[in-house]
């Protein structure tokens, strides 16, 4: 990390997309065998734009690069080539990106309360050497109210249900004043009412101009609840309104003949043109 400790974030160029990827390629060298080194393509020539307030579902088979794409968008991984711009600047200088990791990446036994987790989102605004101000606490409270979690503020995070835990992370994104919310499989393992609850809260963020990129395996949810869908398998196989992306031809191409059913075993609604 080379940024000075007093760094306060990058301005946003007006009238620029939240996220603009042009020809992003990411390869890693597989040296698991000492004899041969093979360059493996993880992301291949990814080009797309996400506008303020837009909600995009990223679908694709396992190993398609969904998580990696989110990490590139967050500025956590630098692509080998191509450009990533957030509001006109590289994402690794922005502090308004909220990345919600997969559930398995969080230690749910960690001794922190719901309010503690949301307050972590304010770390940069609070500043080094400083304690949270009254205003920071108010923002935490308001963020929790917006996701209907204020009454559980003092619960340890492990005591919550999966759906409630997702809402805590959305509240944390609100607390850090996010413009780009990146969620990796947030709906996995949730029951239908919890999924709906999470998606309803995401809908309520539209007036704030928060752009949402959400990786999911659930084609039905992608079709019904998102403005646009990206079908990813290392490259962008299709990108656009759900009806034009979720065609049998596109899905067969991306999933290689295997058509995923959603978690109820029901084949997703697919509009065939």
Partner 1 sequence: MDWLLEPLQFSFITRALYASIMVGILCPILGTYVILRGMAFFGDALSHTILPGVVIAFLLDWPLAVGALIVGVLTALGIGFLTEKSDLKEDTAIGIIFVGMFALGIALLSGSGNYTIDLAHFLFGNLLGVSTTDLWVILGLGTAVLFTIYLFYKEFLLISFDPILAATLRIPASFFRYLLLVLIAITIVTSLQVVGITLALAMFITPAATASLLTNRLPPMMAIAAGIGAFSGLSGLYISFYMNIASGAAIVLVATALFIVAFIFAPGRGRLWQFI
Per CB under 8 A, residues contacting partner 1 are 1, 3, 5, 7, 74-76, 92-93, 95, 97-99, 101, 105-107, 110-113, 116-117, 119-121, 123-124, 126, 128-129, 132, 156, 158, 172, 176
* Shortest distance in whole angstroms from residue 207 CB to partner 1: 23
Per-residue HEC secondary structure of the chain comes to CCCCCCCCCCCCCCCCCCEEEEEEEEEEEECCCCCCCEEEEEEEEEEEEECCCCEEEEECCCCCCHHHHHHHHCCCCCCCEEEEEECCECHHHCCCEEEECCHHHCCCCCCCEHHHHHHHCCHHHHCCCCCCCHHHHHHHHHHHHHCCCHHHCCCEHHHCCHHHHHHHHHHHHHHCCCCEEEEECCCCCCCHHHHHHHHHHHHCCHHHCCEEEEECCCHHHHHHHCCEEEEEECEEEEEECHHHHCCHHHHHHHHCCCCCCCCCCCCCCCCCC
* Shortest distance in whole angstroms from residue 168 CB to partner 1: 12
* Shortest distance in whole angstroms from residue 179 CB to partner 1: 12
* Shortest distance in whole angstroms from residue 93 CB to partner 1: 7
Q: Which residue, 7 or 151, is less far from partner 1 as judged by CB?
A: 7
Q: Which residue, 130 or 273, is less far from partner 1 as judged by CB?
A: 130
Q: Which residue, 97 or 246, is less far from partner 1 as judged by CB?
A: 97
Angle, to 10 degrees, between the axis of helix 134-146 and the axis of helix 162-175? 140
* Shortest distance in whole angstroms from residue 66 CB to partner 1: 16
Q: Which residue, 116 or 145, is less far from partner 1 as judged by CB?
A: 116
Q: Which residue, 158 or 241, is less far from partner 1 as judged by CB?
A: 158
* Shortest distance in whole angstroms from residue 37 CB to partner 1: 13
Q: Which residue, 100 or 201, is less far from partner 1 as judged by CB?
A: 100
For residue 151, count CB atoms less than 10 angstroms from its CB and return exposed for 0-12, middle for 13-18, buried for 19 or more: exposed
* Shortest distance in whole angstroms from residue 156 CB to partner 1: 4
Q: How far apart are CA 139 and CA 97, in angstroms?
A: 17
Q: Which residue, 78 or 269, is less far from partner 1 as judged by CB?
A: 78
Are 181 and 170 in contact by the 8 Å Cβ rule? The answer is yes
């Amino acid at each position: 990390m080379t940024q000075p400790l007093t760094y306060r974030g990058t301005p946003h160029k007006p009238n620029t997309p939240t996220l603009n990827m042009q020809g992003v390629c990411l390869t890693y060298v597989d040296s698991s065998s000492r004899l041969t080194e093979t360059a493996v393509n993880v992301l291949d020539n990814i080009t797309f734009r996400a506008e303020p307030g837009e909600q995009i579902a990223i679908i694709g088979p396992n190993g398609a690069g969904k998580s990696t794409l989110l990490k590139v968008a967050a500025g956590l991984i630098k692509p080998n080539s191509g450009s990533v711009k957030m509001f006109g600047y590289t994402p690794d200088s922005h502090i308004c990106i909220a990345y919600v990791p997969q559930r398995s990446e969080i230690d749910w036994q960690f001794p922190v309360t719901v309010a503690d987790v949301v307050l972590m989102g304010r770390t940069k605004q609070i500043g080094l050497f400083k304690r949270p101000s009254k205003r920071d606490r108010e923002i935490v409270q308001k963020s929790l109210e917006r996701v209907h979690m204020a009454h559980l503020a003092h619960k340890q995070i492990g005591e919550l249900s999966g759906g409630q835990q997702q809402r805590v992370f959305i509240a944390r994104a609100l607390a850090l004043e996010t413009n780009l919310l990146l969620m990796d499989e947030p709906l996995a393992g949730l029951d239908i009412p919890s999924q709906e609850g999470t998606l309803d809260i995401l809908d309520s963020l539209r007036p704030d101009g928060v752009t949402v990129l959400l990786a999911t395996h659930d084609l039905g949810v992608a079709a019904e609840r998102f403005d646009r869908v990206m079908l990813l398998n290392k490259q962008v196989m299709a990108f656009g309104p759900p009806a034009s992306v979720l065609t049998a031809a596109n899905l067969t191409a991306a999933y290689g003949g295997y058509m995923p059913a959603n978690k109820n075993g029901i084949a997703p609604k697919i509009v065939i043109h």
